[in-house]
């Protein structure tokens, strides 16, 4: 919708949440920490997502690279969260990081298939997850607003897929409509020559 409106994606979300100070402060923080708007090299893109769940407001900015073979590499994720009050900040940040990795694994390669009424995947040898070599740099920042404590177990998980797909679109102009990403043909040889403005 931001692209159709010809608006910067972060500014678009800021306008949609202009009457909620907590959302505005989370967007301010993620904008600052992610260096939103700074230039990236060719075939790199930035994407954003924001949501509220379990009483916590979370925004994530993903920086991705799409190579000529269509492989997506998530280099960096910046997460800003208003948890109301994070009682144990180190534990809270660890939960944000693990939620991002969990969601990234599902979005990038996670797929459960059924054959003859049974699940094909039996364990991690045929159900790939995000390993250390594929994990992005994750920066998580807590904003204590003084509201009642929010959740930390899951609020960062659902945002990573839309943040990354928005970053892919920003990088190469192709919308990802199917997960996992591996099911999409993102080879640069078939891409348009111009990137989207937003």
11-67 per-position pLDDT tens digit: 999 999 999 999 999 999 999 999 999 999 999 999 999 999 999 999 999 999 999
Tokens of 6: 């010809």
Q: What are phi and psi of 75, to 5 degrees?
A: -90, -35
Q: How far apart are CA 141 and CA 14, in angstroms?
A: 19
Q: Answer whether residue 152 shows pLDDT above 60.
A: yes
Whether the predicted model's global pTM rises above the 0.85 cut: yes
What residues pair up with 65 in beta bridges, in sequence order? 44, 73
With beta carbons less than 8 A apart as the criterion, state whether 24 and 14 touch: yes
All domains in the chain, ordered by first residue: 9-190 (3.30.365.10)
Q: What is the pLDDT of residue 189?
A: 52
- Backbone Cα Rg of the chain: 17
Token pair in block for residue 172: 């190469």
Q: CA 175, CA 20: separation in Å to the nearest integer?
A: 29
Enter the DSSP assignment of 149.
P
The share of the chain scoring above pLDDT 90, in percent, equals: 70
Q: Which helix (H) or strand (E) holds 56?
A: strand 56-66
Residue from 172, 140, 181 nearest 42 by CA? 172
pLDDT of amino acid 65: 95
* Residue where the block lists tokens 């970053």: 167
Task: Point out the least confidently predicted range of 32-46, 89-103, 133-147, 170-184.
Answer: 170-184
**pLDDT for residue 193:** 47
Rounded CA-CA distance 33/141 in Å is 8
Position 49 scores a pLDDT of 97
Q: Residue 124 — pLDDT band, cuts 50, 70, 90?
A: confident
* Residues 80, 30 contacting (CB under 8 angstroms): yes
């Amino acid at each position: 919708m931001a692209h159709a409106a010809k608006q910067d994606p972060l500014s678009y979300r800021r306008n949609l949440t202009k009457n909620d100070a907590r959302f505005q402060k989370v967007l301010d923080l993620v904008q600052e920490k992610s260096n939103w708007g700074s230039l990236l090299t060719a075939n790199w893109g930035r994407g954003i997502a924001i949501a509220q769940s379990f009483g916590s407001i979370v925004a994530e900015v993903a920086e991705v690279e799409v190579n000529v073979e269509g492989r997506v590499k998530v280099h960096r994720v910046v997460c800003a969260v208003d948890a109301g009050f994070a009682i144990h900040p180190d534990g809270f940040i660890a939960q944000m990081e693990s939620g991002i990795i969990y969601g990234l694994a599902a979005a990038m390669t996670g797929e459960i298939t059924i054959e003859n009424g049974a699940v094909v995947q039996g364990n991690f040898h045929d159900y790939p997850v995000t390993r250390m070599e594929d994990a992005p740099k994750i920066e998580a920042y807590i904003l204590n607003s003084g509201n009642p404590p929010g959740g930390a177990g899951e609020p960062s998980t659902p945002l990573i897929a839309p943040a990354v797909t928005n970053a892919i679109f920003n990088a190469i102009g192709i919308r990802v409509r199917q997960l996992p990403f591996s099911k999409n043909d993102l080879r640069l040889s078939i891409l348009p020559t111009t990137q989207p403005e937003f």
